[in-house]
Structure 1
Amino acid sequence: MDDAWWDSLADALGAIAIVPSSRVAVRQEYLDRAMPQFLGFPVDTTVPVWTTAHGDLHWANLTGPTLSVLDWEGWGTAPAGYDAALLHAYSLLVPTTAAEIRLRLGHILDSPSGCFAELVVITELLQTTTRGENLDLEAPLRSRLRHLIDRF
């Protein structure tokens, strides 16, 4: 993707985040239960900042060379940075792509709320591995989790 595509993605994530919504993409009650269970260490599960999110941002829901964001049925409130964290997590199997996301969306991911959003996404995806899904992501997710633990 070229610079214009990445700029469009960053702009889209910013625009989505400020849309008022009573819809919910991620529930605090889920985080209270699942984060301690799947992260394996005690963590304050209180979401620092809620914003609106697409809720299912991965490569199958993005087009190029001109950006379009598809598949909107899961949108709603989520921890700030959730969409960027989800796209990053789904890219961990392609380290150059994951690094590009960190470069282009680092202003989101490297913030305290972005780091928390990464923990949320890791929780969700590790839970899917217990159902036999995303098994190839388990090791990279655990590696990323070890890196994030130092920030909490």
Structure 2
Amino acid sequence: MYSPPPSDDDAKRMAAALAHAAAALGTTIQGPQTWGWHGRTLSHRAVHPEHGACWLRLLSVPEHKAGGKLWEGTERAHTAFPTVRKSPLHALHDHIGDGYAYRTELTAYIDEPVLSPDPVLHHELDLPHVWFATIRTTLSAIAATPTDRTAVRQQWISRAVPEYTGQPAPQIQHWDCAHGDFHAANLTRGATLLDWEGWGLAPRGYDIAMLYAYAQLAPRTAAHIRREFAPLLDSAAGRTALLVVCAELLQSASRGDHPELTPKLRALVDPC
């Protein structure tokens, strides 16, 4: 869930680190804090003298874990997807303190409401045809992008699908580049796609399968997504991607996340 870290000390540490980075980047912080998944990131709206309204996002990891896929995701996405609707990256700031490494990203502020404050969609959406058309173009552009990054691994699929769904693990035949965290909290009503840290190769159809799975508590919207992407979701690759996504979300539920979604995910697993 999107929430502060369990420790107040960690919350204070990250707030201080973001203030440090804001000063180094020449920005002025505005508005309330926005925490990421289990407090792993901290974000603020900010104003920059050259770029205007911006978004500051701080990632914190133990110092020895700096670098790697999540650390570089936004930076590499900036050049990898020039035609995709996303927030432009203006600058980065890295620093180390108290045994932690921090990366702060300064991006343009997207003045569009997200579809949901949480990945699990709890309310129905009335999305126009043009929104789906833009998303379809976005997903095609992402899928066609060559990459050496990995969002989902066959080794994890082979272990997790039987464990969390009770179904045999599929051997993935078609791998495409994916955003990797494609849900309503990372999509705006203007069809801009946010939070690019985890993109990479995944089973074909993974992104739209994730959006569909997370929408199960809003059945009318879920049915709309299914209709719009029926050729993919109803294909063998799409059914496999949905099984993989269900395994991932059920694993997350086993750790206490989105328990209200679990029965719907169980229902999706059988026809996969």
TM-score scaled by structure 2? Answer: 0.53
What is the correspondence of 1:92-131 to structure 2 with a 5 Å cutoff?
A: 92-131=216-255
Is 1:57 aligned to residue 182 of structure 2? Answer: yes
* Correspondent of 1:36 among 145, 148, 162: 162
Show structure 2 runs of 5+ residues with no match.
Answer: 1-126
2:262 partner letter: E
Task: Give the secondary structure class of the aligned counterpart of 1:19.
Answer: coil
CA distance in 2, matches of 1:110, 1:14: 17
CA distance in 2, matches of 1:77, 1:129: 23
CA contact (8 A) 2:158 2:170 kept: yes
Aligned-residue CA RMSD (Å): 0.9
* Correspondent of 1:23 among 149, 155, 158: 149
Task: State the match for 2:91 in structure 1.
Answer: none
Which one has a larger percent strand, Structure 1 or Structure 2? Answer: 2
What is the correspondence of 1:69-148 to structure 2 with a 5 Å cutoff?
A: 69-148=193-272
- Which deviations, in whole Å up to 9, do the C-alpha atoms of 1:42-64 show, x marking residues without a partner? x2421121000000000111111
Q: 1:39 Cα shift?
A: 1.2
Point out the structure with max Rg over C-alpha. Answer: 2
Runs of 4+ in 1 over 6 A off after TM superposition: none
1:109 partner letter: L
Q: 1:129 Cα shift?
A: 1.2
Task: Give the secondary structure class of the aligned counterpart of 1:51.
Answer: strand
Task: State the match for 1:2 in structure 2.
Answer: 128
CA distance in 2, matches of 1:25, 1:68: 20
TM-score scaled by structure 1? Answer: 0.93
Task: Give the secondary structure class of the aligned counterpart of 1:45.
Answer: coil
Task: State the match for 2:11 in structure 1.
Answer: none
CA distance in 2, matches of 1:34, 1:140: 18
Task: State the match for 2:138 in structure 1.
Answer: 12
Q: 1:67 Cα shift?
A: 1.3
Task: Give the secondary structure class of the aligned counterpart of 2:177.
Answer: strand
Show structure 1 runs of 5+ residues with no match.
Answer: none
Task: State the match for 1:48 in structure 2.
Answer: 173
Alpha carbons of structure 1 residues 44 and 124: separation in structure 2 relative to 1, 3 Å: closer
